[in-house]
Amino acid sequence: MRFVSPNCSDLYEPNIEMKQFPDGDDYVRLVDLKADGPVFLLHRLYPEQDKALMQAVLMLRTLKEKGYRTALVAPYLPYSRQDKIFKEGEAKSAEYVCEMLKWAGADRLITFDCHFMKKAGEAEYGGLKIASLSMGAELIERAKGKFGDGFEIVSPDLGASYLVERSGGKSMEKVRGEYQEGGEAYRRIEGIRADFEIKGKDVLILDDMISTGSTMIRAAETLKQKGAKKIAFAATHGFFLKDSLQKLGALGDVFVSDSVPSPVSEVSIKRKVESLVGI
């Protein structure tokens, strides 16, 4: 059964009415839903993650009220990076968000390259069953289509090594430091180590996400210092905050999936979503 929400209209025709009250509160209404089995709610939770999460809660809760079992298909799971406590008193946001989705009525969550899982497959977290699909192979195929076979594949940190391992890729190690000064919760990158030879090679750097682009830029600098030739950047989720797309574009080719739509979303999640919901 296909069941989708308006913020995925680039992938499917919307069939949930979603509007806003004049003060900005969300309004959600299921339109002519008649399903005899479980339903799939496809809803992007980024950008404007807090609003999108609230919309998901309203939709899930309404579906639960109507007696449906719902699998939430959220291509990117926001807050998934805050799954560990670095400083006493911090919120373990990843867990709380999963608990909230479970409470609202998500029978399971289907997502892509879920950050805290650090592998593709199934897990339970915050009481929520999660299936994390990977776009790693599709992104590597795209790179082959663009550059041919003769490039090395490297992940910029150990958390993303699962994305490159099956293709014989290598992993770098990112060392993070303290939070930077100011109102932005961003832990400085102290360094990125690469304990392998890369001299004279073209390289695809593959990560689960590009946010500010700092990880990719530092990784590229490290590889260049070690003698790498051409560099390209790929990730499942691309947020491209600030001027990161421009900065990365100046260093090499950049492409991502359309889990979060962007000007460089060259690989679609659509086929994988369809195989899941059986259409």
Rounded least distance, CB 198 to ligand R5P, Å: 19
**Torsion, CA 184, CA 190, CA 192, CA 195, rounded to 10:** -160
CA 261, chain centre distance (Å): 11
If the CB atoms of residues 209 and 267 are measured against ligand R5P, the closer one turns out to be 209
Using CB atoms within 10 A of its CB, is residue 149 exposed (0-12), middle (13-18) or buried (19+)? exposed
Which has the closest alpha carbon to 154: 129, 171, 130? 171
If the CB atoms of residues 81 and 119 are measured against ligand R5P, the closer one turns out to be 81
If the CB atoms of residues 105 and 136 are measured against ligand R5P, the closer one turns out to be 136
Rounded least distance, CB 95 to ligand R5P, Å: 17
Residue in this structure with the two tokens 């041919």, named with its chain if needed: 148
Rounded least distance, CB 235 to ligand R5P, Å: 8
Rounded least distance, CB 144 to ligand R5P, Å: 23
The alpha-carbon radius of gyration of the chain (Å, integer) is: 20
- Alpha-carbon distance of 108 to 127, in angstroms, equals 10
- Alpha-carbon distance of 1 to 82, in angstroms, equals 33
If the CB atoms of residues 74 and 217 are measured against ligand R5P, the closer one turns out to be 217
CA 32, chain centre distance (Å): 31
Which conformational region is residue 57 in: left (phi greater than 0), alpha (psi within -120 to 50 degrees), or beta?
alpha
If the CB atoms of residues 152 and 208 are measured against ligand R5P, the closer one turns out to be 208
Which has the closest alpha carbon to 267: 140, 77, 116, 83? 140
Rounded least distance, CB 58 to ligand R5P, Å: 28
If the CB atoms of residues 7 and 161 are measured against ligand R5P, the closer one turns out to be 161
User: Binding residues for ligand R5P, per CB under 6 A?
Assistant: 81, 156-157, 159-160, 207-215
Rounded least distance, CB 139 to ligand R5P, Å: 14
